[in-house]
Chain A
Amino acid sequence: MAKPLPPLIRLHLTGLRVLLVFTVLCGLAYPLLITGIAQVALSRQANGSPVKKDGRVVGSSLLGQTFNLPKKNPDDPKEQAAPDSKWFQPRPSAAGTDGYDPTASGASNLGPNDAGLTQTIHERRAAIAAFDGVAAGQVPPDALTASGSGLDPHISPAYAYEQVDRVARARGLDAPKVRQLVKDHLQGRTLGFLGEPRVDVVTLNLALARLG
């Protein structure tokens, strides 16, 4: 018979066996069970809540996207993308070079006293006020700041209403009609007290596109 292993080695082998048993249980059986149930019973959510236009998937209702004009030279990394006035604009985003890149989610991480961030916020305020044709003081905070994920699909109701006239002008629609569309897309607090009132820019713009 082989000599028994030294106790210290035996102890580590026990540890290894425990780890393997639980890798099978918690690392394979559990996620595959949940994936199976999710794919069968809740496939829309489990696959990222896709939104479709004309039968084609155009994004996820949970992930924000950019609504910019095509770049003049797509190969030039220095060219800043310009917002398209025909769409409701989302918040600034720190995810990827042009923003809203789900393969590079994240925040700016700039501090509350950062000089560069302060400067950027002043510039954004001026640019948005000019773009939307409103007073600088009317631009709400969420329009001036990047979200945590860089993929925030929502804007505040204030920012949505602030953009109504510009969108209506650009699309040649009646402003009250566009304002009504925003109103239809307002989401209140869950159960009346969880979270903040908001508008999902992706679904709002989708409805806008269907409007013509």
Chain B
Amino acid sequence: MDATLAGFLQALALVAALALSHRPLGDYMAYLLTSGKHLRVERGIYRLIGVDGGFDQTWMAYLRSVLAFSAVSVLLLYAFQRLQNHLWLSLGFPAVSPATAWNTAASFVTNTNWQSYSGESTLGHLVQMAGLAVQNFLSAAVGIAVAAALIRGFHRNRTDQVGNFWVDLTRVTLRLLLPVSIVFAIVFVAAGMVENLHAASHVTTLSGAAQSITGGPVASQEVIKELGTNGGGFYNANSAHPFENPNPLTNWLEIYLLLVISFSLPRTFGTMVGDRRQGYAIVAVMALFWVCSASLLTFFEWQHHGTALQAAGAAMEGKEVRFGIPGSALFASSTTLTSTGAVNSFHDSFSPLGGGVTVFDMMLGEIAPGGTGSGLYGMLILAVVAVFVAGLMVGRTPEYLGKKLGGREVKFASLYILTTPAIVLIGTGVAMSFKAERANILNSGPHGFSEVLYAFTSAANNNGSAFAGLTVTSTWWNTALGLVMLFGRLLPMVFVLALAGSLARQQPVPVTAGTLPTHRPLFVGMLSGVVLIVVGLTYFPALALGPLAEGLHR
């Protein structure tokens, strides 16, 4: 079969699988987030944690719970790494350094999973499975919980309650993430991923050289790494490592898993607000961007512009033979359009414009389909902005899903869309202005600038992938990027929950002939336009200095 056709079929099979999952998974999540019935085990958990599952919280109480939980999580994960040498299964590794432990704690709690360490030479198995992987579950559930609160804001009227954070967190983890993980972990082991608690075993190879075969509970962590759009690899090479991604089938399944929740949440949204067409409009915009990104990226990698790639005859630097160009490009698009950041090929060596697409994907705010929960609330914020823009055009107060978007609502939405670009651009500017920090760049010229831009874009958007040539192990980089990840995660959540509270308080306005229908192709087009314009205008100068300068100059 022709390679192009095979690549096309691979993407098509993915679209089909996602379309088939959309309805059952979306409806199931809507059930989880609205059902009043608690399982016996859930009631047990509520007793253990001292929470009454029957009560809803105001948006302020919900937010306080999110922040308190995040704070405790960062502290505990930091302590865990600092004490790993005293714990079981440490494999003899010393305590993680303070700066790296801080960075990693912030990274995994914020669903970023940026890695300034190399797994196989830094962390014992216990920290990986009982520290990092736990946050893989919980940070994903936190994202879905916050999205659920925003949906309730649209759906509920004249109330100050947006749900119970502890109930949402428990249900999503226990009834969604954990069961799916168990099933796919076993599939992944059967396909060749390792799952043991061994230290590395030393063998003499066929030609008589020494090689250490590493071990670890990899498959169990791999599933939730993708399903929860986390992306932190067990090993340094992440999903390029044969033990994390042994063959083309696991590669396809990993892409499916990292997309499936976020592509199904619009159905949850449509179901919960009582108008599924609203969900279809949202998922249409997501799918549009995903298809464009994957096609462009694959095209640029086939083209393999760049002197080194031309010399080799194909863009295979940093890519695995078993995945080839299509399997690598599809993964790269999907991982940067969600907040996953797992990589099966190294973006720093992509063609200039191909690498540019991965940065641009993250700059879109990771909304197509985005991280678990964060993708949906990000897209809904942009929908609010799009409705507002439409209202300005015709000169009437905008309304979305029966809720008036007044000054207060639009301010929260605006703060949301300004936060991340501000962090990215200020951070990049500050880093580039210090000589010592610039020295950590590996590549020269515009590509070196792209490495720094990529780092801040990835951290602020909680992606976690990298132009990995940049050395980020210094105290400055670890500290700065740790702060960027926390601000990039928690500030938007503040604005989302404030918006949810403000919407929930309102009395719904009736639909009239003058109401903008938000489920028609016209709105899909408007929303796509707003996404592109907001992002394009904000980041264009920075992109021009990096990927565009490198990609267009010859």
CA distance A28 to B5 in the complex (A): 44
By a CB distance below 8 angstroms, the chain B residues around A46 are 189, 194-196, 219
Q: Is the CB of B249 within 8 A of A12?
A: no
In the complex, residue of chain A having the shortest beta-carbon distance to the beta carbon of B198: A47
Is B458 at the interface (CB under 8 A from chain A)? no
By a CB distance below 8 angstroms, the chain B residues around A76 are none
A194-B242 contact, Cβ under 8 Å, with A38-B219, A150-B237? no
By a CB distance below 8 angstroms, the chain A residues around B319 are 145, 147-148
Within 8 A of B (CB), among A26-40: 26-28, 30-31, 33-35, 37-39
Q: Is the CB of B321 within 8 A of A105?
A: no
Q: Is the CB of B209 within 8 A of A68?
A: yes
By a CB distance below 8 angstroms, the chain A residues around B71 are 12, 15
Q: Is the CB of B138 within 8 A of A19?
A: yes
Is B10 at the interface (CB under 8 A from chain A)? yes
**Could you tell me the distance in whole angstroms from the C-beta of A140 to the nearest C-beta in chain B?**
7
Residue-wise interface mask of B (299-312) relative to A, using a CB-CB cutoff of 8 A (1 in contact, 0 not): 00000111111011
Q: Is the CB of A153 within 8 A of B242?
A: yes
**Could you tell me the distance in whole angstroms from the C-beta of A10 to the nearest C-beta in chain B?**
8
By a CB distance below 8 angstroms, the chain A residues around B323 are 195-196
Q: Residue among B1, B45, B173, B237 with the most chain A CB within 10 A?
A: B237
Is A131 at the interface (CB under 8 A from chain B)? no
Number of interface residues of B (CB under 8 A): 124
Is A102 at the interface (CB under 8 A from chain B)? yes
Candidates A60, A122, A193; contact of B10 at CB < 8 Å: A193
Q: Is the CB of B550 within 8 A of A148?
A: no
A-B contact count (CB 8 A): 372
Q: Is the CB of A109 within 8 A of B312?
A: no
Q: Is the CB of A109 within 8 A of B318?
A: yes
**Could you tell me the distance in whole angstroms from the C-beta of A103 to the nearest C-beta in chain B?**
5
By a CB distance below 8 angstroms, the chain A residues around B185 are 34
Q: Is the CB of B3 within 8 A of A27?
A: no
**Could you tell me the distance in whole angstroms from the C-beta of B41 to the nearest C-beta in chain A?**
10
In the complex, residue of chain A having the shortest beta-carbon distance to the beta carbon of B253: A194
CA distance A11 to B201 in the complex (A): 45
A148-B312 contact, Cβ under 8 Å, with A19-B72, A102-B200, A112-B352? no
Q: Is the CB of A34 within 8 A of B318?
A: no
CA distance A150 to B527 in the complex (A): 42
**Could you tell me the distance in whole angstroms from the C-beta of B308 to the nearest C-beta in chain A?**
4
By a CB distance below 8 angstroms, the chain B residues around A165 are none
A121-B237 contact, Cβ under 8 Å, with A23-B130, A205-B206? no
CA distance A198 to B194 in the complex (A): 22
In the complex, residue of chain B having the shortest beta-carbon distance to the beta carbon of A13: B50
CA distance A198 to B246 in the complex (A): 13
Majority DSSP secondary structure for residues of A touching B: mixed
**Could you tell me the distance in whole angstroms from the C-beta of A161 to the nearest C-beta in chain B?**
14
Stretch with Cβ within 8 A of A (4 or more), from B278-286, B343-351, B494-502: B343-351
Q: Is the CB of A146 within 8 A of B69?
A: no
CA distance A125 to B48 in the complex (A): 64
CA distance A190 to B49 in the complex (A): 47
Q: Is the CB of A100 within 8 A of B355?
A: no
Is B97 at the interface (CB under 8 A from chain A)? no
Q: Is the CB of A66 within 8 A of B217?
A: no
Is B403 at the interface (CB under 8 A from chain A)? no
Is B439 at the interface (CB under 8 A from chain A)? no
**Could you tell me the distance in whole angstroms from the C-beta of B233 to the nearest C-beta in chain A?**
9
Is A113 at the interface (CB under 8 A from chain B)? yes
Q: Is the CB of B237 within 8 A of A107?
A: yes
Is A1 at the interface (CB under 8 A from chain B)? no
Within 8 A of B (CB), among A1-55: 8, 11-19, 21-23, 25-28, 30-31, 33-35, 37-39, 42, 45-50, 53
Q: Is the CB of B194 within 8 A of A31?
A: no
By a CB distance below 8 angstroms, the chain A residues around B312 are 121, 141, 144-145
In the complex, residue of chain A having the shortest beta-carbon distance to the beta carbon of B166: A18
CA distance A148 to B116 in the complex (A): 17
Q: Is the CB of B321 within 8 A of A152?
A: yes
Within 8 A of B (CB), among A150-169: 150-156
Candidates B130, B137, B178, B197; contact of A35 at CB < 8 Å: B197
Q: Residue among A12, A35, A84 with the most chain B CB within 10 A?
A: A35
Sampled A-B contacts (28; CB under 8 Å)? A11-B64, A19-B76, A19-B134, A22-B134, A26-B134, A26-B137, A27-B133, A37-B189, A42-B189, A42-B190, A45-B192, A48-B213, A50-B203, A57-B201, A63-B211, A100-B211, A104-B236, A108-B346, A108-B349, A109-B349, A112-B304, A112-B350, A148-B320, A148-B328, A193-B5, A193-B13, A195-B323, A202-B206
The 7 A-B pairs with the shortest beta carbon distances in the complex, nearest first, are A195-B248, A112-B306, A148-B240, A27-B130, A196-B324, A141-B314, A105-B237
Instruction: Other than A11-B65, A62-B246, give 7 A-B pairs with Cβ distance below 8 A.
Output: A18-B49, A28-B129, A30-B181, A103-B121, A111-B443, A113-B445, A142-B316
